[in-house]
Structure 1
Amino acid sequence: MAGLKIQGLAKSYREVRVLENINLDIASGEFFTLLGPSGCGKTTLLRTIAGFQSQDRGEIIVNGERIDHKPAHKRDIGMVFQDYAIFPHLTVAENVAFGLKARSLPKSEIRTRVDESLAMVRLEGYQNRLPAEMSGGQQQRIGLARAMAIRPTLLLMDEPLSNLDAKLRIELREDIRDIQRRLGITTIYVTHDQEEALAVSDRICVMNKGNVEQIGTPFEIYRKPLRRFAAAFVGTMNFVPGRIEGGRLSIGSQSIPSPAGGIDGPIEVAIRPENVLLAGDPHRGEAITLKGEVRKVTFLGREAHYTLSTEAGEIVAQVADPERDFIEMEGRPIEVKLPLGRVALFKSNGDVVEAGQG
């Protein structure tokens, strides 16, 4: 197992800066996900670690040794690609054995590792089939088995599930996570799918425009966002304008003692839909109460989503297992509560306002 450290990494294409001063410290055996929208630099970062392209400056260090001067084939890295990248003219076993043969291992060891790797991805008995005879999910399992067969120091995965249907994605992401935990391989995983990142990761790095916005556990990224971009990108978040002045927080016509000291000026108030409380919901503790109207109700079976017009702006609320009376509320006036314990406040520069600062 190996830890990975990236220091001051930067990359440009002509005049466009794709990566800007990236610093990461990834622990041995960690499942670390690079999450962000298309064009944020996550795949460029992964390919730079793999050695498929070089950085303009910065260092890539594995187990205390710089590897950025080494060619890709000498970095001891396994790679799983979005488009499977398996050889159509080779059998399943020959695909998995490809990297092993390049390392000149004995035939008996190659056979053993191929069988072990295929068993890990639940493809026992498929050794002699061609990829064309396999489903998309099975082809991606071949790519995963091939990457693991070489027993790499690092395993890199570039959106490996994006070409699969929704049900298969969920099934395969669970398999990937289980295998990674069993083997303890340090893994860097690229995705733009927030749910996927939350489901599989030990830690997540949210990226935007070549920069790191926030690094944290799935819980921290979702429940304790430090940057407005991370709050908006991961899951659904309501944002309404507010202001802190003279030690009070004002939203719409409502004013309460501010949970954050030492700051004055405009802010944004953020809250997840599942934390918004509607009339009748029990709550203890301080909350911002807004007057509003139910504009739309979307019933989804186990939950319902409410689009609310309030004095502070539009807010979406989510109610689990709603009663019938709660479904038939369109056009009705309603009180909306935003519990302070579930609210995040963001400055105009995108930084979170720390409670009690100053």
Structure 2
Amino acid sequence: MAELRIQGLAKSYRDVRVLESIDLTIASGEFFTLLGPSGCGKTTLLRTIAGFQHQDRGEIVVKGERIDLKPAHKRDIGMVFQDYAVFPHLTVAENVAFGLKARSLPKSEIETRVAESLKMVRLDGYQSRLPAEMSGGQQQRIGLARAMAIRPTLLLMDEPLSNLDAKLRIELREDIRDIQRRLGITTIYVTHDQEEALAVSDRICVMDKGRVEQIGTPFEIYRHPVRRFAAGFVGTMNFISGTLKAGQLLIGSRSVHFPGADGTGPVELAIRPENVILSGSSPGAAIPLRGEVRKVTFLGREAHYTLGTEAGEIIAQAMDPSADFIAMEGQTIDIVLPIAKAALFDANGDLVSAGRP
């Protein structure tokens, strides 16, 4: 169990700043996810923690000790890579034992740990197989077992599921989360997959352009984003241009009071598709609009609607839609945007005010 603190971490490649003054505290035993688009700096941050590259400035502290002053092999870190990184000429058991042999552990302890680790990832009985005889999901389990077997202080995972098909990703992410909880290893997980991050994390750090945009629980990140980037990157979000004048929000020809918003200037109203009300009314303050149903996408348990309104295009979502709702394409209907479910962001992408659903 180990707390990790990152203070003022910065990294550049030539004239390109990849990480800008990163400050993070990750609690002992926490499953902490770095989430963001390609090029946002999340993998660079992970590799810097691992010791594969060195920061320009800043500190990395684990259990009160700076580990950035140590070489990678002395940081007591387990690493699971995107591309499996198993040794093709070694058997499954030999792959898992590799790090243990490097630590010169007794043969009996190595055998015990290999057996325990393979059982944990549901590969017991596969000890003598070669990686080429295993599926992609099984090869990633080998990598996970190898990282777990050394009982590291920190476990780092760099997009470990991105090479797997959708069904395997869901299955293995559940296994990873269950194993991490059972062992209580402080884990840092890198992904660009929003659903994956929401499903496995204790907390999520949303990153963009080398900066931290928001840190919070999955619920906080999804329901209460504090930066426009986080609001737009995690899940689907409608952004509707408007103008704020002393607490009054103007959207198209509509005007409504938005609590907590006292400034003046251009803003964007953000609202999730599932919070747009179709053909109904809101119990509280709301913006009523008329919308033409341009497209209906039926997905079984839900349907998505693309609506053309005076405020621009809006996406709505309805759960368990009726046959009448599915046949709405081409119709003009009333829609409602509840203020309690919306947030306002200014031109800099900062939160102005938000409802609290």
TM-score normalised by the chain length of structure 2: 0.98
Query: 1: CA distance between counterparts of 2:354 and 2:45?
Result: 34
Report the counterpart of residue 275 of structure 1 in structure 2: 275
**Which one-letter code corresponds to 2:285 in the other structure?**
E
What per-residue deviation string (whole Å, max 9, x for no partner) do you get for residues 121-141 of structure 1?
000111111000100000000
Query: 2: CA distance between counterparts of 1:290 and 1:106?
Result: 72
Structure 1 stretches of 4+ moved >3 Å: none
What per-residue deviation string (whole Å, max 9, x for no partner) do you get for residues 213-245 of structure 1?
000000000000000000000010000111111
List aligned pairs for 1:165-244, cutoff 5 A: 165-244=165-244
**Which one-letter code corresponds to 1:298 in the other structure?**
T
Report the counterpart of residue 103 of structure 2 in structure 1: 103
Query: 2: CA distance between counterparts of 1:320 and 1:35?
Result: 28
Q: What RMSD in Å do the two structures reach over aligned CA positions?
A: 1.0
Runs of 5+ unmatched residues, structure 1: none
Report the counterpart of residue 258 of structure 1 in structure 2: 258
What per-residue deviation string (whole Å, max 9, x for no partner) do you get for residues 147-180 of structure 1?
0000000000000000000000000000000000
CA drift at 1:262: 2.7
Report the counterpart of residue 352 of structure 1 in structure 2: 351
Which of 268-277 and 257-266 deviates more?
257-266
Query: 2: CA distance between counterparts of 1:246 and 1:170?
Result: 47
Query: 1: CA distance between counterparts of 2:31 and 2:295?
Result: 40
CA drift at 1:304: 0.7
Query: 1: CA distance between counterparts of 2:13 and 2:162?
Result: 26
What per-residue deviation string (whole Å, max 9, x for no partner) do you get for residues 89-117 of structure 1?
00000000000000000000000000000
* Secondary structure class of the residue paired with 2:19: strand
Report the counterpart of residue 298 of structure 2 in structure 1: 299
CA drift at 1:28: 0.1
CA drift at 1:284: 1.2
Report the counterpart of residue 312 of structure 1 in structure 2: 311
What per-residue deviation string (whole Å, max 9, x for no partner) do you get for residues 240-270 of structure 1?
1111113311111111122224311110000
Query: 1: CA distance between counterparts of 2:353 and 2:186?
Result: 33
Query: 2: CA distance between counterparts of 1:94 and 1:346?
Result: 54
Which of 161-170 and 291-300 deviates more?
291-300
**Which one-letter code corresponds to 2:102 in the other structure?**
A
- Is the CA contact 2:343–2:354 (under 8 Å) kept in the aligned structure 1? no
**Which one-letter code corresponds to 1:327 in the other structure?**
I
Query: 2: CA distance between counterparts of 1:33 and 1:333?
Result: 42
Query: 1: CA distance between counterparts of 2:257 and 2:286?
Result: 11
* Secondary structure class of the residue paired with 2:353: coil
Identity %: 81
Q: Does 1:142 align with 2:119?
A: no
What per-residue deviation string (whole Å, max 9, x for no partner) do you get for residues 304-332 of structure 1?
11000011000000001111111111111
Distance 1:83 1:355, change over 3 A: closer
Query: 2: CA distance between counterparts of 1:258 and 1:343?
Result: 9
Report the counterpart of residue 15 of structure 1 in structure 2: 15
Query: 2: CA distance between counterparts of 1:190 and 1:111?
Result: 31
What per-residue deviation string (whole Å, max 9, x for no partner) do you get for residues 29-87 of structure 1?
00000000000000000000000000000000001110101000000000000001010
Which of 262-271 and 109-118 deviates more?
262-271
List aligned pairs for 1:72-87, cutoff 5 A: 72-87=72-87
**Which one-letter code corresponds to 1:85 in the other structure?**
A
Query: 1: CA distance between counterparts of 2:237 and 2:353?
Result: 18
Query: 1: CA distance between counterparts of 2:306 and 2:143?
Result: 44
* Secondary structure class of the residue paired with 1:244: strand
Query: 2: CA distance between counterparts of 1:256 and 1:173?
Result: 44
* Secondary structure class of the residue paired with 2:148: helix
User: For this pair of structures, how many residues does the alignment match?
Assistant: 355
Query: 1: CA distance between counterparts of 2:219 and 2:208?
Result: 20
**Which one-letter code corresponds to 1:26 in the other structure?**
I
Report the counterpart of residue 45 of structure 2 in structure 1: 45
Query: 2: CA distance between counterparts of 1:110 and 1:292?
Result: 66
* Secondary structure class of the residue paired with 2:7: strand
Report the counterpart of residue 4 of structure 1 in structure 2: 4
CA drift at 1:355: 5.1
TM-score normalised by the chain length of structure 1: 0.98
List aligned pairs for 1:33-72, cutoff 5 A: 33-72=33-72
Query: 1: CA distance between counterparts of 2:291 and 2:180?
Result: 48
